[in-house]
Amino acid sequence: MSTPPSPNPASTRQYLYGLDVLRAVAALFIVYRHFMDWTATRGLPLDFRDAVNDTMASLRLLPNLGMVGLSSLFLISGLVISYVTEKETPGQFLARRAFRLLPAFWIAVVVSWLLVLAGFFPGGNPDMTANGNSLIGSLTLANHFLTEQNVVLPVAWTLTLQFSFYLFTAAMIRPGRGRPWLGPVIAGVIIAIALALTVETPTATLNHLRTMATFLPVLFIGQCISLVRSGRLRASAGLAVGGGHYLLFIWGGLNHETIPYGEPVERTLLMMILLTVLLLGTSGGLARSRAVREVAKRTYSIFLIHMPVGFAVLAALSPRVGAGVAVLAAVLVSAVCAELLYRLVELPVNDWYRRRERDRAARRADAASAGS
């Protein structure tokens, strides 16, 4: 499988305004889907939700924009990571991801656990209790692989995929430098074996492993898109490897509860892949706008905190003021909490670690100069 000559470094460092658009779209669609699902499962009337669902039904897609935000999130994860690995060592890559993602995740888990304890949020299931098991198991993601699955932050299941992807990507940084196709190809083989071994999933552990094997190909499709766009992989090779991962995604959902909706999910993913390719090169006024840029920066915090605080607001207000007003209030409260999580945890911790990196690099440079 051939690799084109290395592109001009200046071109690879060009800021991708379209990536901000994709991040903002993913965050908004995920919030929309979860809040609309909450109102729909409780039979609460919402005219705009029903109108959107009528349109989705005519397009033979999922109600409440299902899979639109999730597929965007996974594609973006593959896209972003593939760009940064061009200049990071494996250890540096993992350390940066850890300081960027874990502190905000831990705070979101604690907030969610406290809301479960207070009875404002059900967590991963209505019968769950806020105890030491659910807290520690959620902080470590271990409960996603256990039979009871006492998970206080339901959206965290996606992090089991993303962290697995990061670990694999770190392992492939050095062997993949001259062969960028190697990582996605090896991953495809591993995923195929995992799918073949988890046809039957009698336990929650096996079911989660099957879920991971089903959705991981979406991240590698995003990786293929970024490798092609950066010039590290020929379009024909990217199409072949990415197409193989799309087929793995379809296989993962065949006759299995991991993807209960069948063809609409496959169509939605294909639609979002095409939309990602188109939007990635966008650089117009909207893509450069401050609103899009600020939402894009806060995508992770929005993703983490919107469900526990938003659902608590919906449960408290919908019986009193109706579903429409409750949804607006849930969006506003989620936005405020996401802003606090971003400004007080995610951003300062990441900035602190990057400053430490720069200081260490400066000390090493000074020591090298003194020794020469």
Per the model's pLDDT, the better-predicted residue between 13 and 199 turns out to be 199
pLDDT at res. 4: 57
Transcribe 21-77 into DSSP letters.
HHHHHHHHHHHHHHHHHHHHHTT---HHHHHHHHHHHHTT--GGGTTHHHHHHHHHH
Average pLDDT, the chain: 90
20 within 8 A of 293, measured Cβ to Cβ: yes
Match 């996401």 to its residue by tokens. 338
Residue 166 has pLDDT above 90, yes or no: yes
Spatial neighbors of 158 by CB under 8 A, at least 6 apart, are 70, 73, 74
- Buried (b) or exposed (e) across 155-185, using 16+ Cβ within 10 A? bbbbbbbbbebbebbbebbeebeeebbbbbb
Task: Look up residue 288 and give its amino acid.
Answer: R
CB atoms within 10 A of CB 108: 29
Q: If you average pLDDT over residues 18-32, what whole number do you get?
A: 93
pLDDT in tens, 302-335: 999 999 999 999 999 999 999 999 999 999 999 9
How many residues in the chain? Answer: 372
Please state, in angstroms and as integers, the Cα–Cα distance from residue 52 to each residue in 60, 265, 266, following that order: 12, 17, 19
pLDDT at res. 115: 96
Please state, in angstroms and as integers, the Cα–Cα distance from residue 213 to each residue in 33, 51, 69, 175, following that order: 23, 34, 19, 23
pLDDT at res. 10: 38
Rounded to whole angstroms, the Cα distance separating 314 from 310 reads 6
Task: Look up residue 358 and give its amino acid.
Answer: R
130 within 8 A of 117, measured Cβ to Cβ: yes
State percent of the chain over pLDDT 90.
Answer: 72
pLDDT in tens, 117-159: 999 999 887 778 889 989 999 999 999 888 777 899 999 999 9
Per the model's pLDDT, the better-predicted residue between 5 and 263 turns out to be 263
Rounded to whole angstroms, the Cα distance separating 275 from 244 reads 19
Q: What are the domain boundaries of the chain?
A: 14-364
Spatial neighbors of 36 by CB under 8 A, at least 6 apart, are 46, 49, 52, 63, 64, 65
Q: Exposed, middle or buried by CB within 10 Å (0-12, 13-18, 19+), for 51?
A: exposed
pLDDT in tens, 223-282: 999 999 988 999 999 999 999 999 999 999 886 766 767 788 999 999 999 999 998 888
Q: Angle 78-351-224 (CA atoms, 0-180°, nearest 5)?
A: 10
pLDDT in tens, 93-123: 999 999 999 999 999 999 999 999 999 999 8
Spatial neighbors of 234 by CB under 8 A, at least 6 apart, are 2, 3, 4, 228
Q: If you average pLDDT over residues 204-209, what whole number do you get?
A: 90
pLDDT at res. 2: 53
Rounded to whole angstroms, the Cα distance separating 39 from 36 reads 5
Tokens read off for 292: 């899009």
Tokens read off for 120: 């404002």
Q: Up-side HSE of residue 55: CA atoms within 13 Å toward CB? A: 8
pLDDT at res. 304: 98
CB atoms within 10 A of CB 250: 17
pLDDT in tens, 31-78: 999 999 999 999 999 999 999 999 999 999 999 999 999 999 999 999
pLDDT at res. 350: 96
Please state, in angstroms and as integers, the Cα–Cα distance from residue 83 to each residue in 141, 223, 269, following that order: 26, 9, 22
Q: Angle 156-15-242 (CA atoms, 0-180°, nearest 5)?
A: 55
Q: How confident is the model at residue 372 (pLDDT cuts 50, 70, 90)?
A: low
206 within 8 A of 26, measured Cβ to Cβ: no
